[in-house]
Amino acid sequence: MQSRNFRLQRVGDINWLEKNYKFQKISFSLDELIVVDATRGTKDIEKFSAVVSRLVGEVFIPVAAGGGIRKIEDAELLFNSGADKVILNSPLYTNPTLATEIINRYGSQSLVASVDYKVIAGTPVVFINDGAEPLSISMADYLLYLEQLGVGEIVFNSVDKDGTGFGYDIENIEKYAKSVNMPFIIMGGAGNERHLKEGLSIDGVSAVATANLFNFIGNGLPNARNYMLEHGSNLARWE
């Protein structure tokens, strides 16, 4: 799916994805692949795990997968399907015991916390349930809560910037990237290689994520990586 402000537009199914993306080649432009089940409402974890299993057969980089994990068996299914990490969003707040179970069984490095937020009246507000339900806890307190929970990394995702291609939410990224002692990944808004470089240059940002360059811009990913390397970004060289 292509997402804009969390409104979804269909791009293609797994068969289309395998036909149109040469993952063995495109993997050299990436350090990690994030795969999320964005289905609204009830998600089918078994169906999603089957998709993940098909994808990882062509991908030789770490894969983080999430969406619909509601019990430890769901996480186990994704790990057994080839995921290297699992992603939690809503259960981090509604069922933190699940996060603790995953961490105790697989280690903190195996759990990624996805934080979706919208800026309302100048203040970033955390949302769960596919961006539908706001939380009353402040962003600073929520990030501290996640750190104390023991998650391995955080994906900081702007709903307002999502899919726009206008660039990351630099103001709030600069404000919160150094507020936690764990990898801080930014998502939402990247439309070109300059946005990626700008995001990665922010103190405290560990990684930048994009869907736009992945979905629609031909050689956008390899070109972006080359641009970032040429301009001094701290990325691995795969020659």
Catalytic residue annotation: 116
Tokens in use for 182?
């764990």
∠206-212-215 over CA atoms, to 5°?
120
CA torsion sign, 12 to 17 to 21 to 25? positive
Bridge partners of residue 207, in order along the sequence: 185
Question: Which residues contact residue 211 at a Cβ distance below 8 angstroms, ignoring those fewer than 6 apart?
Answer: 2, 3, 163
Bridge partners of residue 112, in order along the sequence: 87, 153
Calpha distance 135→97 (Å, rounded): 18
Tokens in use for 75?
């996480």
| Max Cα-Cα span within the chain | 48
